[in-house]
Chain A
Amino acid sequence: MKIWPMEDVSNVIQMIVLIVTVVLVWLSADRTKEPTIARFFSLGMFVYFLGTLFWSLYILLFGEATAGVSPADIGWIGAYCFLIGFLQITAKGKRRPKWLIIMPVLVACDTAVWISWAGGNVGSILNDVVYGIIMSVLAWYIFANISENKGHLRPFYISAAYFFIMEMVLFTSWGTAYAYFDLMTTAGLVAMAVTFVRGISSEEVAR
């Protein structure tokens, strides 16, 4: 897989931003109303950082991106799981609007595009299917929270939706555009961290 120089820049920026975010969220956890939940979120960001670190180091050492299943993908999927976990807590007991079903359908359509690009590589197809399933669940909980939760955490759900859309666009892009969307994803991560800390400092999470 060909690597674009801009991707190295976006990867380095993302790693710096993520490690700063992880440290800041972890340190500010005690000042929030939900220290354990804040640490949970920080851990999710750290796992995302590990995924990006593996991806960047692999490119640096071998001059190409991994084909098929990569530990970087596993790291990113793990980070989505932490995010899903938090969104699951906040969406507990809330009504699910009927239009939410559109989200998994849209993700499934996008996943079909990724699979069509896999060129029959079983590892890549498996990777795409797992991503599709996780992204469907993530979209479901993000938009369920946006439609039902009106409290201080609403900006966080909106930034999570922005992050989700950017990730979907990122997976469907290539070349220099991929690197630019990667930077926009990093912006989404920052927005999520800021809105999360602000939200959780003024609102207790219902369990």
Chain B
Amino acid sequence: MIYAENVFVCIVAPLIVSIFFTKGSARRFCIFLTLGIFMCLLAAYINSYLLVVTGYSVKQAAICVTPISEELMKLLPLVFYFLVFEPDDDGVIMAAVAIGVGFATFENCCYMLGAGAADFTTIMIRGFAVGIMHTLCTLAVALIIVLFGKYHRLMPVIFIGVLAASVTCHAIYNMLVSVAGPPQYIGYGLPMATLIIVLLYMQRRKLRGSR
């Protein structure tokens, strides 16, 4: 059994202390990192509840149910920040990255405590894959919100649309990883490949912008 609340306190305590000694964007990053970790803890409670209610097996729940609750929990603080504080584009992206990183960090910690941290290769592959996947899913949500943020009338459908996109991406990753053999390798490689594509695209846009 993992005492997730205890792990949560251990990780969050230094971050909360850091909030008092930082300013500006560094402080906001720490706050959203903490929020991401907190959302992961909440998502774990919801997942446990849904596992009982739906009667799915752990594997089936990881594919069909977990992505919905996890992506929804990551979206909520981001949407709240976007709607209430009306930040600039960089602020939305920074918040999304921090939430995604916080979420992935806590999930990795709980995975390590549950499955053990002896196998360095597995830990490294999983650590990077989950880290990139969660961060990219939340980042994609933020980019879509930034891109179409000026169409205020569309906000409800945009929020449902981006949630759907991130849930489906997350579910595809979870599904591939759950099947041993080539699908698992593809699953672990998918976030890395997506990251490379995103970085290349951003680099290209930067080059075009500077010309």
| Chain A positions near chain B (C-beta within 8 angstroms) | 36, 39-40, 43-44, 46-47, 50-51, 53-54, 57-58, 61, 66, 68-72, 74-75, 77-79, 81-82, 84-85, 88-89, 92, 123, 207
Judged by a CB distance under 8 angstroms, whether B147 is at the interface is: yes
Q: Are A78 and B151 in contact (CB under 8 A)?
A: no
Size category of the binding interface on chain B: 20 to 34
A70 and B64 contacting across the interface, CB-CB below 8 Å: yes
Give 11 new A-B contacts, CB below 8 A, not counting A68-B64, A85-B157, A89-B151.
A51-B164, A54-B168, A58-B63, A69-B65, A71-B68, A77-B160, A78-B165, A85-B151, A85-B154, A89-B153, A123-B54
User: What string of 1s and 0s marks CB contacts (under 8 Å) between B56-89 and chain A?
Assistant: 0000000111011000000000000000000000
Asked if B161 is at the interface (CB within 8 A of a chain A CB), the reply is yes
Give the tally of cross-chain contacts (CB within 8 A): 94
Residues of B contacting A81 in the complex (Cβ-Cβ under 8 angstroms): 157-158, 160-161, 164
Q: When the two chains form their complex, are residues A54 and B175 in contact, meaning their CB atoms are under 8 A apart?
A: yes
Also in contact, A71 and B157, with CB within 8 A (given A50-B172, A57-B176, A58-B175): no
- Chain B minimum-CB-distance residue to A76: B164
Which among B63, B64, B162, B183 has the greatest number of chain A C-beta atoms within 10 A?
B64
How far in angstroms is the closest Cβ of chain A from B79?
15
Instruction: Check if B168 sits within 8 Å of A51, measured CB to CB.
Output: yes
24 A–B contacts, CB within 8 A, in A order: A39-B147, A44-B161, A47-B164, A47-B165, A50-B165, A50-B172, A51-B164, A57-B172, A61-B176, A69-B68, A70-B64, A71-B168, A74-B164, A74-B167, A74-B168, A75-B164, A75-B165, A75-B168, A78-B160, A78-B165, A78-B168, A85-B161, A88-B153, A89-B151
B interface vs A, CB < 8 Å? 54, 63-65, 67-68, 144, 147-148, 151, 153-154, 157-158, 160-165, 167-172, 175-176, 179, 183
- Main secondary structure, interface of B, reads helix
* Residues in chain A near residue B164, CB distance under 8 A: 47, 51, 74-75, 77-79, 81
A84 to B158, CA, bound (A): 10
Q: When the two chains form their complex, are residues A72 and B168 in contact, meaning their CB atoms are under 8 A apart?
A: yes
User: What chain A residues lie within 8 Å of B154 (beta carbons)?
Assistant: 85, 88-89
Residue from the set A39, A43, A69, A78 with the largest chain B CB neighbour count within 10 Å: A78
Closest chain B CB from A73 CB (angstroms): 9
Q: How far is the CB of B57 from chain A (nearest CB, A)?
A: 12
Residue in A47, A53, A72, A207 with the greatest tally of chain B CB atoms within 10 Å? A47
How far, in angstroms, from A126 to B172 measured CA to CA in the complex? 22
> Which residues from chain A contact B170 at a C-beta distance below 8 Å?
71
* CB neighbours of B175 from chain A (8 A): 54, 57-58, 61
Q: Which residues of B contact A57 (CB under 8 A)?
A: 172, 175-176
- Bound Cα distance A54, B65 (Å): 14
Neighbouring A residues of B65 by C-beta, 8 Å? 69
Given A39-B147, A61-B175, does the pair A69, B64 have CB atoms closer than 8 Å? yes
Distance in angstroms between the alpha carbons of A61 and B184 in the assembled complex: 11
